[in-house]
Chain A
């Protein structure tokens, strides 16, 4: 009996700790935050979580290779602007064309793939540090997006496009496909094994016949594509293409991934953990808004809560290690 509870405890603390934290946080705040536990609000929480979750899943992929992708929000800006320039009923190049929406979506995905390919090539073939490479991409493509629109938002997007991020069920289906796909990729496929091996030890991976450079480029392209999917959802939800959508949320993306338990040093990470991390951050944001704290208090409290969660993680690792 002792063994079983110990095993269960280890499993909960090792695998599902962030979920436990979410539940605990929810239970602790429900009596105080008015409307926290209402179905309207819970739908809100889940709907707000979806774009963050998609982005954090891409981040997880890159982080497992011991990299980081700071360019995610620049992909959103660039893809959002490019997509809207194509499909907008006002100023779109293909305004009124029945194929505008599919072409726009393909173009947005292409933007993500191109940015990812640039990042991956510089990291894998030129052996530049991922932090610098993606930071540069972030600056360049955010700047390009603002410059090409003169920081104006582009609206009048076709109705068929607005469904993608506006209807929670459609969004959920898209997100579940992406997140589930990456989960299967990481846990079941050859490519997933290679990603972990490269993250653990690229030298060993190379000697063992893993195409290290291709794996790295692939991971960054995948992350770029995933960020483009997020761009589609966000552009649709905000009913406008804009170079400033989500520009201040980059650290939420990285935060959700790391709080979930994915290691910044590579080789360790799970999509499920990232789901928990995204849920945790969204819950914090939502609850602090409900508590009617001032903006600056929210930022401070959020920092402290994340610190507390990270500290708990350190304690947990010390116990296990």
Chain B
């Protein structure tokens, strides 16, 4: 029997060690909210996650967290785990508009209020409150500023737009905002390249490099997300197109999100404008929506984050509300 005892003993020790580390789930009377993110792979999601955590701590709400690692099946399991643990509300970033519907359904069936943070799903037989930047309006405002700058140069520009994952409502809104701003300005802007990135750095880089090979005279570039800037900048440098505002060969750059890279590029004089999503507003609104729902108050289906455009002329005034700048100064 010594053999039986030894490894099993070892396993038991191992398990208790594991448990000692996590402290276990002692229940208390506080409200509990489960936060389920699809990924923490980009700064934007980390900033959003931290903003929600800070908001919950401020209000003394217990938090349960789960990251799905870009897997909608795992996200479904995680939401079911929240149901098991009887959370009072769920804040979730869905994988995409469609594959996360079963997860939302699981929360609906358990009668737990659910808020989708920043990215919303199709409303196919499911109920949720969406908190989302007005992607269309914000992208349009950003590109409007870029067009204004283009007009000041007094010449025509060829333009490139880097698109996101077309299964994501946000990406579609930003694309539509871009074209709405171009609409009516075809006299000076001609869109020659639409680069699909599927929210993937490698794809973005390859696409931008190819576009410059086909059209070396592109001088106007909008990306649907700032997190793609590192690969876009490396492609620009490869084509000798990365120059400061005012220098010869400058490409007018615009983005969306307002991350730390964008903030740095703006300070260094490369980036003209970016549409900033106000994550602090979105975090606060998400938590408030759940509390309101718990109290039985009426909450609109969609809460719009108006956001704002930060550009060369207003950057000092607005930097305290730009999450990318906040992160940078925190370091």
Which A residues are within 8 Å of any B CB, using their own CB? 9, 13, 21, 24-25, 28-29, 31-36, 38, 40-41, 44, 48, 51, 150-156, 166, 234, 237-240, 242, 244-249, 285-286, 289-295, 297, 301, 304-305, 308, 311-312, 315-316, 319
Contacts and interface: CB of A to CB of B under 8 A. Distances in A.
Pairs A-B, 9 closest by C-beta atoms? A295-B67, A34-B25, A153-B98, A35-B84, A155-B98, A32-B24, A289-B81, A41-B84, A152-B167
Nearest to A36: B84
A291 B15 CA distance: 13
A117 B44 CA distance: 44
B125 to A, nearest CB: 9
Contact of A28 (B12, B96, B97, B196): B12
B234 interface: no
B156 interface: no
A238 B102 contact: yes
B226 to A, nearest CB: 21
Contacts of A315: 3, 6-7
Nearest to A41: B84
B85 interface: yes
Contact of A32 (B25, B70, B165): B25
Given A24-B11, A240-B101, A242-B98, A295 B22 contact: no
Contacts of B96: 153, 242
Contacts of B196: 150
Interface in B187-207: 196, 198
Contacts of A234: 73
B83 interface: yes
Given A150-B166, A153-B167, A308 B14 contact: yes
A285 B77 CA distance: 9
B78 interface: yes
A234 B322 CA distance: 40
Interface string B76-91: 1110110111100000
B40 interface: yes
B11 to A, nearest CB: 6
B7 A291 contact: no
Contacts of A292: 22, 25, 64-65
B98 A240 contact: yes
B199 to A, nearest CB: 9
A238 B79 CA distance: 13
Contact of B27 (A34, A249, A289): A34
Nearest to B17: A304
A246 B71 contact: yes
5 contacts: A13-B4, A24-B8, A153-B96, A244-B99, A295-B69
Contacts of B70: 244, 248
Contact of B102 (A24, A239, A311): A239
Contacts of A239: 98-99, 101-102, 124
A150 B172 CA distance: 14
A294 B64 CA distance: 9
Contacts of A294: 65, 67
Interface in B10-34: 10-12, 14-16, 18-19, 22, 24-25, 27
Given A44-B77, A245-B73, A153 B4 contact: no
Contacts of B124: 155-156, 239
Contacts of A316: 7
Contact of B22 (A24, A291, A311): A291
A174 to B, nearest CB: 17
A153 B122 CA distance: 11
Given A150-B166, A295-B69, A312 B15 contact: no
B80 A44 contact: yes
B303 to A, nearest CB: 24
Interface string B107-127: 000000000000000101000
B66 interface: yes
A38 B71 contact: no
Contacts of B86: 35
Contacts of B71: 244, 246-249
Residue with the greatest number of chain A CB neighbours at <10 A, chosen from B16, B77, B80, B84: B84
A299 B176 CA distance: 39
Contacts of A304: 14, 18
A319 to B, nearest CB: 5
A234 B65 CA distance: 25
